Amino acid sequence: MRPFEEVVAQHGPTVLRVCRAVVGPVDAEDAWSETFLSALRAYPRLPADANVEAWLVTIAHRRALDVGRARSRRPTPTDPMPDLASPRANPAARDPDLWDALARLPAKQRQAVAYHHIAGLPFAEIAALLGNSPDAARRASADGIKTLRRIYREDRTP
C-alpha cells in the first residue's frame, strides 16, 4: 500500500476542487481537512484494489455535507469579511465568475457537476453518492452544465 502522503499529494487538489464546488470557497478547506482526517483513519483498511480517488470523493461528499450543516448553524457576521486567496484554490483565482455561477446551481446539480466534471467519477458512483440512479445523476450533471452555461453567459454579458 502506498504511503498516505502520496495519496494526499496525488488526489488532494481534486478533492479540494470538489469540496469547493460543493460547499463554496469559505468552507472548502475545512471539508478538505476533514476528508483527509477521515481517510487517514480508514486508509489501513482500504482494499488494495480500491479506486482511491472515488473513495476520497465519497468521503469528501460526506464531509462537505457535514461542513455545510455546521455552517448553517453558525451565526452570520454583520461586517463582510474579505475573501482570502487560498494557494490550493487556483482555479477560483483564474475565473471567480465561474465559481459564483457554480454556487448558484441547485445542490444535486452542483454536486453532480463537481463529482463528474471535476473529480471525473462515473455516473454509477455519483448515483451512489447522491442516492439516485445513474440516469438521474447523468441528468443532474447535464442540467447543471446547461444551467451553468446560461448563468455564466448572463454574468459575462455587459
HEC readout, the chain: CCCHHHHHHHHHHHHHHHHHHHHCCCCHHHHHHHHHHHHHHHHHHCCCCCCHHHHHHHHHHHHHHHHHHHHHHCCCCCCCCCCCCCCCCHHHHHCHHHHHHHHCCCHHHHHHHHHHHHCCCCHHHHHHHHCCCHHHHHHHHHHHHHHHHHHHHHHHCC
pLDDT of the residue at 31: 92
Across residues 85-91, what is the average pLDDT? 46
34-56 tens-digit pLDDT: 999 999 999 999 998 999 999 99
Please indicate whether the domains covering 1-74 and 96-157 agree at the CATH topology level.
Answer: no
Residue 88 has a pLDDT of: 41
Per-residue pLDDT, averaged over 110-122, amounts to 90
Q: What is the pLDDT of residue 154?
A: 74
Going from the C-alpha of 57 to that of each of 22, 63, 110, 120, the distances in angstroms are 11, 10, 14, 10
1-74 CATH, one of 1.10.3470.10, 3.60.21.10, 1.10.1740.10, 3.30.420.10? 1.10.1740.10
Domain edges within the chain: 1-74, 96-157
Rounded Cα–Cα distance for residues 155 and 152 (Å): 5
Quick one: fold of 96-157? Arc Repressor Mutant, subunit A (1.10.10)
pLDDT confidence of 118, banded at 50, 70, 90? confident
* Per-residue pLDDT at 100: 81
The answer, yes or no, to whether residue 25 has pLDDT greater than 80, is yes
Q: What is the pLDDT of residue 90?
A: 46
Residue 151 is predicted with a pLDDT of: 82
Question: How high does pLDDT run on average in the chain?
Answer: 85
